[in-house]
Amino acid sequence: MSTVKKVTDSIIYVGVNDHKIDLFEGQYDVPNGMAYNSYVILDNKIAVMDTVDINFTHEWLDNLAEALNGKSPDYLIVQHMEPDHSANIANFVNTYPNAKVVGNAKTFAMMAQFFGTSFEDKQVVVENGGTLNLGKHQLTFVFAPMVHWPEVMVTYDATDKVLFSADGFGKFGALDVDEDWACEARRYYFGIVGKYGAQVQKLLQAAATLDIQKICPLHGPILTENLGYYLDLYNTWSSYGIETDGIVIAYTSVYGNTKKAVELLADKLKAKGCPKVVVNDLARCDMAEAVEDAFRYGKIVLATTTYNAGIFPWMREFIDHLTERNFSNKKVAFIENGTWAPMAHKVMKGMLEGCKNLVFAEPVVTIKSAMNDANKEQLEALADDLCQDYLARSPQTAKKNDMTALFRLGYGLYVVTCNDGKKDNGLIVNTVSQVSDNKIAVCINKRNYSCHVIEQSKELNVNCLSVDAPFDIFKRFGFQSGRTVDKFQGMETAKSDNGLPFLTQYINAVLSLKVENQVDLDSHIMFICSVTEARVTSDRATMTYTYYQENVKPKPQTEGKKGWVCKICGYIYEGEVLPEDFICPLCKHGAADFEKIQ
Ligand code: FEO
């Protein structure tokens, strides 16, 4: 049955469906076949857009003849030289010897490699942005290198507002099979073009300047409606964004023990409100489907066995597929299994080292042969970490009084310096904000000696700590009182015009402030100040509270200890019950800033 059909009044589809194929590009399973699309533009001059796979020469030439209806084509436009589209160039030239062949310099170089000739006497070589006038139809060629080969170009027909998009917006599946577009387009995209997100982004930027009403790809259906949907998906895919909320678990299991852990985790994730949990057994599922899922969801669990001092082969292949395609912007969790020397976690994490913007979930679950009770608890904790956002969304499961939410405010950390008339003093604060064009608010705990000093002196300096500040600075200014010690002893400082000291290292700016007003906030006093001097001292990034917690504060040595640990300084209180009025002897924070050692 002929596949010829009108796209517009003067553009005719002449592509073919392939149901004989077993593996597309020698590797992709295509249960619903494949379409190789080709188009004819009928005008004063007639152009044919690309050819088809070598196994469909006669079907395609028949389609072409039907569309041409006795006329002869003037041009064959070659947008892509991969053989699924270019294989019949020589057959076209033999059938229509008067037609010219349109391509770019790279197209013709490849043509010589494939056919032993680049058809010199028929060449029309176009540049990026070059045009071809067919009469009514004005075609513009836009180079799209690496979407999916370096010679690829797409073609815009300004008359019918059609974008001929080469492999872009293509999918697996023949056109005589009705199936969801996104599923097979996503598998096609990540399998074939996934590595080239940056290049696809460039193409999308070029497309955004055009009025496009139809997209005619070289595979898959012609897109005619709701183009924003397809463009949005391509934008998400090519920017490695998260398309669907949920978690994918990819695993291998030799004797079923890793599988049991995966199944338990999947149950826990569902119970905690994860909107979608996808489980892929890498030894049995379609690898391209697993790869597509890895890019589709924002979180992934990798579970595998230690094998030959490395990891199980299917997992190695899977991670290779991800890293080759610039896997990034995900939360990743690990479950490893090993009977005598488990090292799958180390190997998997090492393989992901070059990936950008990955966050790793805690804890790593290490199974020794078969799951034990400790593993079950670890899986529970891992599910909590992975579902943190889902749990917080639900009114039933959200912790509504989790004051650590305050730590997520974008606090910087500062040394506030002052002078009590006899000596300089300083303390660490995280409560400095610009509150109007020329006013800064600084809140200081009344328990701190500096609060008392500033209430009287009405002057202070705010030293903005930078990320190179060591933990010693926090100990010096944060863990002792200026009433009893000289915090500046042995430390080099400089003075601002108000006579107060500022640090000569570990800061990126210093502000001299004069107190204009103050507000009593029970535990703290808010000093509202004007700026009398402001100096930038380095270009290093500002030390934030989060940066301090993650990179500066030493990890408390809690192993083997029972009791409570101070989240601010790491002090350990060894005892079953922490008194409610307990004050940390190091940093002077109260019981609320302690957490139980697990
Ligand atoms: Fe459909 Fe890259 O060829």
- How do residues 295-350 score in pLDDT, each as one tens digit? 999 999 999 999 999 999 999 999 999 999 999 999 999 999 999 999 999 999 99
Q: Is the CB of 171 under 6 A from ligand 1?
A: no
Residues 6+ apart with CB under 8 A from 514: 458, 459, 498, 529, 530, 532
CA of 70 to the centre of ligand 1 (A): 30
Q: Strands, E, within 368-500: which ranges?
A: 414-419, 424-429, 432-436, 439-445, 459-465, 493-495
Query: Residue 493 pLDDT more than 80?
Result: yes
Start-to-end Cα distance in the chain: 70
Please give the single-letter amino acid code of residue 482. G
- What is the rounded CA–CA span in Å between residue 529 and residue 460? 9
CA of 116 to the centre of ligand 1 (A): 21
Q: What is the pLDDT of residue 375?
A: 98
Query: Residue 406 pLDDT more than 90?
Result: no
Atom of ligand 1 nearest to the CA of 192: 2
User: Is residue 584 very low, low, confident or very high in pLDDT (cuts 50, 70, 90)?
Assistant: confident
The per-residue pLDDT for range 25-51, each reduced to its tens digit, is: 999 999 999 999 999 999 999 999 999
Q: Is the CB of 85 under 6 A from ligand 1?
A: yes
Pick the closest to residue 382 from 367, 395, 400, 369 (CA basis).
Answer: 367
Q: Which residue is closest in CA terms to ligand 1's atom 3?
A: 82
- What is the rounded CA–CA span in Å between residue 252 and residue 269? 19
Q: Is the CB of 151 under 6 A from ligand 1?
A: no
DSSP letter string, 300-333 = EEEEEEEETTEE-HHHHHHHHHHHHTT--S-EEE
- List the structure tokens of 538: 């380095």
Query: Residue 536 pLDDT more than 70?
Result: yes
Q: Is the CB of 268 under 6 A from ligand 1?
A: no
Whether residue 102 contacts residue 124, with contact meaning beta carbons closer than 8 Å, is answered with yes
Whether residue 33 contacts residue 188, with contact meaning beta carbons closer than 8 Å, is answered with no
Atom of ligand 1 nearest to the CA of 167: 1
Burial classification of residue 463, based on how many CB atoms lie within 10 Å of its CB (0-12 exposed, 13-18 middle, 19 or more buried): buried
Rounded to the nearest angstrom, the gap between the alpha carbon of residue 227 and the centroid of all alpha carbons in its chain is 24
Q: What percent of the chain has pLDDT over 70?
A: 100
Atom of ligand 1 nearest to the CA of 36: 1
User: Is residue 392 very low, low, confident or very high in pLDDT (cuts 50, 70, 90)?
Assistant: confident
- What is the rounded CA–CA span in Å between residue 142 and residue 155? 6
Q: What is the pLDDT of residue 554?
A: 80
- What is the average pLDDT across 452-471? 95
CA of 10 to the centre of ligand 1 (A): 25
Q: What is the pLDDT of residue 557?
A: 78
Highest mean pLDDT among 79-83, 429-433, 530-534: 79-83
Q: What is the pLDDT of residue 407?
A: 66
- 561 pairs with which residues across the strands? none
User: Is residue 510 very low, low, confident or very high in pLDDT (cuts 50, 70, 90)?
Assistant: very high
Q: Which three-class secondary structure state does DSSP give residue 35?
A: strand
- What is the rounded CA–CA span in Å between residue 139 and residue 129? 10
Q: What is the pLDDT of residue 14?
A: 98
User: Is residue 396 very low, low, confident or very high in pLDDT (cuts 50, 70, 90)?
Assistant: confident
CA of 171 to the centre of ligand 1 (A): 10
Inter-axis angle of helices 227-238 and 181-188, nearest 10: 30
Whether residue 383 contacts residue 266, with contact meaning beta carbons closer than 8 Å, is answered with no
Q: What is the pLDDT of residue 306?
A: 96
CA of 405 to the centre of ligand 1 (A): 49
- List the structure tokens of 43: 């005008």
Q: Residue 370: how many CB atoms within 10 A of its CB? A: 14
Q: Is the CB of 144 under 6 A from ligand 1?
A: no
Q: Is the peptide bond before 470 cis (omega within 30 degrees of 0)?
A: no
CA of 220 to the centre of ligand 1 (A): 12
- What is the average pLDDT across 396-423? 86
CA of 152 to the centre of ligand 1 (A): 9
- What is the rounded CA–CA span in Å between residue 115 and residue 108? 10
User: Is residue 105 very low, low, confident or very high in pLDDT (cuts 50, 70, 90)?
Assistant: very high
CA of 82 to the centre of ligand 1 (A): 5
CA of 153 to the centre of ligand 1 (A): 12
DSSP letter string, 361-399 = -SPPEEESSS--HHHHHHHHHHHHHHTHHHHHHSTTT--
Residues 6+ apart with CB under 8 A from 466: 506, 507, 508, 538, 540, 541, 542, 543
Q: Could you give the C-alpha distances from 37 to 156, 157, 541, in angstroms and in order?
A: 16, 17, 53
pTM of the shown model: 0.79
CA of 84 to the centre of ligand 1 (A): 6
Q: Is the CB of 82 under 6 A from ligand 1?
A: yes
Whether residue 199 contacts residue 43, with contact meaning beta carbons closer than 8 Å, is answered with no
The per-residue pLDDT for range 123-134, each reduced to its tens digit, is: 999 999 999 999
- What is the average pLDDT across 462-476? 92
Residues 6+ apart with CB under 8 A from 565: 556, 558, 571, 572, 573, 594, 595, 597
Q: Is the CB of 193 under 6 A from ligand 1?
A: no
CA of 109 to the centre of ligand 1 (A): 17
Pick the closest to residue 216 from 1, 8, 2, 62 (CA basis).
Answer: 8
- What is the average pLDDT across 71-77? 98
- What is the rounded CA–CA span in Å between residue 258 and residue 322? 21
User: Is residue 588 very low, low, confident or very high in pLDDT (cuts 50, 70, 90)?
Assistant: confident
The per-residue pLDDT for range 187-237, each reduced to its tens digit, is: 999 999 999 999 999 999 999 999 999 999 999 999 999 999 999 999 999
Q: Which residue is closest in CA terms to ligand 1's atom 1?
A: 167
Average pLDDT across the chain, whole number:
94
Burial classification of residue 34, based on how many CB atoms lie within 10 Å of its CB (0-12 exposed, 13-18 middle, 19 or more buried): buried
